């Protein structure tokens, strides 16, 4: 939420760093091997060399099995990498060794990262007994309460956090979330909107403040809720999006658009049965709405009903034949059936329908690269077209570079991949592709360096696993 997923992972995990500074200052008589390992680990962590940092933390834990500090710090690194089950184990070890509040904060974050908000809240409420006035805990509890649609409880936690006079960064987080929660939250709608807007301004959240100001100009209250729901949906704030779409429906039960977006949001939340019910209600309200056919088709494709998905998408296309989104979704349906000829035709149709939209050009290029399909005659031109439409998009240059590599044009591939990293040095896929290129050309040290960066920076596991396999094969 609030475009701060990465920063939230690190919130409340700083006490270990304080302990480490004391330790390294020589105030605690630990063995030299232990302190040296921790020094190495901290240096690697500061450079975002997470694999090396974790190795050093493990060495430190071996040198002093009684210390919680290596496990605490390793857990924090694992959170950054989104390796949540491993982080859970690390924080449990730290807690068992006496890390206390920092371990409980991290343990809760590891559950939250897996979407297990019930367990996260349970841990954080336990921690609240130890530190009832810790602002970070109240912020964490507010986030978890929002995720579970316990909005009143979340407001209480945020008010309490602000009463504790938090540091500026924590205060901004509290104001930003409180602003979102208070938008249209009571009978005096205009007053609640004004209060919400004040909190957003205090947070420095100009983007959401602008959305709220636009919504306030809407005379139709149902439309107002629909606009806010769409804004939260764009930001992946799904629980809040659902709340506003539900409000829109309660204000206007005949709103097909609100039901369509609610169904899609429920799908994103994993509530697939309820999502289908809501989408079918929307279709019954308006059997001519292309948007509903799109969402219902997408739903069926994702649950494995591909033929039904195609039938629904076709109905949508009969009503809106130039809809690029419907064409792209039909392409995905054929792609899931491994019918690449048909998928290519539909992806090209999406590009033709929206020739200035880089997103559809990237989808087409990604299709060719993912399946190593017609790379030279079609994949390369598609990737070049994507770069032309989005020259500042690192992912487009990454796609082009890998397409060149697959076409056995390594010099051009290297140039494009280096450009991708110039635009985004943290792009794990570009590091992996460049490491793969260097592996093929025998440049072992360069290959090792970029494969390690891919493994360090990847938060999905996809590139990390492949990078580790390639690294193991290097001489």
**C-alpha to C-alpha distance for 447 and 154, rounded to whole angstroms:** 48
Q: Kindly tell me if the per-residue pLDDT of 13 is higher than 90.
A: no
Backbone angles phi, psi at 426, to 5 degrees: -100, 10
**Percentage, residues of the chain above pLDDT 70:** 92
Chain segment 398-418, per-residue pLDDT in tens: 999 999 999 999 999 999 999
Query: Is the Cα dihedral 212, 218, 220, 226 positive or negative?
Result: negative
CB atoms near residue 355 (< 10 Å): 11
pTM for this structure?
Answer: 0.89
What are the contacts of 306-309 at 24+ separation with CB within 8 A? 306/333, 306/336, 306/337, 309/333
Chain centre to alpha carbon of residue 122: 23
Structure-model confidence comparison of residues 240 and 2, the more confident one: 240
- Burial category of 65 from C-beta neighbours within 10 Å (exposed 0-12, middle 13-18, buried 19 and up): exposed
pLDDT of residue 30: 60
Which of the four pLDDT bands, split at 50, 70 and 90, describes residue 352? Answer: very high
**How far apart are the C-alpha atoms of 389 and 351, rounded to whole Å?**
12
Mean per-residue pLDDT, 446-457: 98
If you average pLDDT over residues 31-58, what whole number do you get? Answer: 95
Q: What mean pLDDT comes out for the span 424-431?
A: 98
Q: Report pLDDT for 22.
A: 43
Read off the pLDDT of residues 57-81 as tens digits, 9 standing for 90 and up.
Answer: 999 999 999 999 999 999 999 999 9
Question: 10, 186, 22: which is closest to 110 by C-alpha?
Answer: 10
> What is residue 355's predicted lDDT score, i.e. its pLDDT?
97
- Please tell me the predicted confidence (pLDDT) of residue 9: 43
- Both tokens of 353, joined, read 């329908």
Q: Is the pLDDT of residue 47 over 90?
A: yes
- Measure the CA–CA gap between 283 and 20, rounded to whole angstroms: 59
Q: Using an 8 Å Cβ cutoff, are 63 and 464 in contact?
A: no
Q: Over 70: is that where the pLDDT of 474 sits? A: yes
Q: What is the pLDDT of residue 185?
A: 65
Band (190; pLDDT cuts 50, 70, 90): low
Phi-psi domain of 209 (left: phi exceeds 0; alpha: psi -120 through 50; beta: other): alpha
Report pLDDT for 177: 97
Asked whether 73 and 57 are in contact (CB, 8 A), the reply is yes
Model confidence at 11: pLDDT above 90: no
3-state secondary structure labels for all residues of 303-328? CCCHHHHHHHHHHHHHHCCCCHHHHH
pLDDT of residue 183: 87
Predicted local confidence at residue 189, as pLDDT: 60
**What is the pLDDT at residue 192?**
80
Q: Which residues are CB-neighbours of 232 under 8 A, at least 6 positions away? A: 180, 238, 240, 241, 244
Handedness of CA 9, 15, 18, 22 (dihedral sign): negative
Of the candidates 345, 384, 331, the one whose C-alpha atom is nearest the C-alpha of residue 361 is 384
Question: 107-138, pLDDT tens digit by residue?
Answer: 999 999 999 999 999 999 999 999 999 999 99
- Please answer whether residues 30 and 23 qualify as being in contact, where contact means their C-beta atoms are separated by less than 8 angstroms: yes
What pLDDT is stored for residue 349 in this prediction?
98
465 pLDDT above the threshold of 60: yes
* CA nearest neighbour of 139 among 119, 159, 123, 122: 159
pLDDT tens, residue by residue, 131-167: 999 999 999 999 999 999 999 999 999 999 999 999 9
Per-residue burial over 106-132, b if 16 or more Cβ lie within 10 Å, else e, is bbbbbbbbeeebebbbebbeebbeeee
Q: Give pLDDT, residue 27.
A: 45
Does residue 29 have a pLDDT over 80? Answer: no
> For 293-314, what is the mean pLDDT?
98
What is the C-alpha separation between 374 and 72, in angstroms, rounded? Answer: 49
Q: Could you give all domains of the chain from N- to C-terminal order, each with its CATH number?
A: 1-115 (1.25.40.10)
Rg (CA), the chain: 25
Owner of token pair 């097909």: 256
Average confidence (pLDDT) over 206-235: 93
What is the pLDDT, as a whole number, of residue 193?
A: 85
Check pLDDT > 80 for residue 6.
Answer: no
- Neighbour count for residue 14 (Cβ, 10 Å): 13
Q: 8 falls in which pLDDT band (50, 70, 90)?
A: very low
pLDDT of residue 16 exceeding 90: no
Percent of the chain with pLDDT over 90: 90
CA–CA separation, 53 and 456 (whole Å) = 10
- Cα separation, 334 vs 311, in Å, equals 12
CA angle 183, 188, 191 (to 5 degrees): 60
Of 7-11, 52-56, 347-351, 436-440, the least confident: 7-11
- Give the span between the Cα atoms of 91 and 110, in whole angstroms: 9
Q: Taking the CB of residue 370, how many other CB atoms lie within 10 A of it?
A: 12
pLDDT at residue 32, rounded to an integer? 87
The pLDDT, as a whole number, for residue 10 is 46
DSSP class of residue 164 equals T
């Amino acid at each position: 939420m609030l475009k701060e997923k990465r920063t939230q992972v690190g919130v409340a995990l700083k006490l270990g760093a304080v302990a480490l500074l004391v330790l390294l200052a020589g105030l605690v008589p630990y063995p030299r091997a232990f302190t040296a390992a921790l020094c190495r680990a901290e240096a690697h962590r500061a450079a975002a060399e997470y694999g090396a940092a974790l190795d050093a933390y493990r060495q430190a834990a071996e040198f002093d099995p009684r210390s919680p500090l290596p496990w605490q710090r390793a857990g924090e690194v694992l959170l950054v990498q989104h390796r949540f089950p491993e982080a859970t184990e690390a924080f449990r070890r730290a807690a068992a060794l006496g890390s206390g509040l920092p371990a409980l904060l991290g343990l809760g974050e590891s559950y939250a990262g897996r979407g297990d908000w019930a367990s996260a809240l349970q841990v954080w409420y336990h921690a609240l007994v130890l530190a009832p006035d810790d602002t970070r805990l109240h912020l964490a509890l507010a986030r978890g309460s929002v995720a579970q649609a316990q909005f009143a409880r979340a407001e209480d936690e945020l008010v309490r956090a602000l009463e504790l006079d938090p540091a500026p960064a924590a205060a901004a987080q509290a104001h930003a979330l409180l602003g979102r929660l208070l938008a249209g939250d009571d009978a005096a709608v205009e007053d609640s909107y004004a209060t919400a807007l004040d909190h957003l301004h205090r947070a420095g959240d100009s983007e959401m403040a602008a959305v709220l100001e636009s919504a306030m100009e809407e005379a139709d209250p149902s439309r107002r809720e629909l606009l806010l729901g769409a804004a939260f949906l764009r930001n992946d704030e799904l629980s809040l999006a659902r709340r506003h779409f539900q409000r829109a429906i309660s204000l206007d039960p005949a709103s097909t658009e609100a039901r369509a977006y609610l169904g899609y949001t429920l799908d994103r939340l994993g509530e697939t049965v309820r999502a289908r019910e809501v989408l079918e209600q929307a279709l019954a309200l308006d059997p001519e709405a292309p948007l509903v056919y799109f969402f219902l088709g997408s739903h069926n494709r994702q649950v494995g009903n591909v033929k039904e998905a195609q039938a629904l998408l076709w109905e949508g296309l009969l009503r809106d034949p130039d809809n690029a989104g419907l064409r792209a979704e039909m392409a995905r349906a054929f792609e899931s059936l491994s019918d690449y000829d048909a998928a290519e035709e539909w992806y090209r149709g999406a590009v033709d329908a929206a020739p200035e939209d880089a997103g559809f050009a990237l989808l087409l290029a990604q299709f060719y690269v993912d399946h190593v399909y017609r790379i030279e005659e079609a994949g390369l031109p598609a990737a070049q077209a994507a770069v032309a439409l989005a020259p500042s998009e690192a992912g487009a240059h990454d796609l082009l570079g890998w397409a060149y590599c697959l076409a056995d044009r390594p010099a051009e591939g290297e140039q494009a991949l280096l450009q991708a990293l110039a635009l985004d040095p943290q792009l794990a896929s570009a590091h992996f592709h460049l490491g793969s290129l260097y592996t093929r050309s025998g440049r072992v040290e360069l290959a090792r360096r970029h494969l390690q960066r891919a493994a360090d920076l990847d938060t999905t596991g996809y590139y990390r696993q492949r990078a580790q396999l390639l690294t193991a094969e290097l001489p």
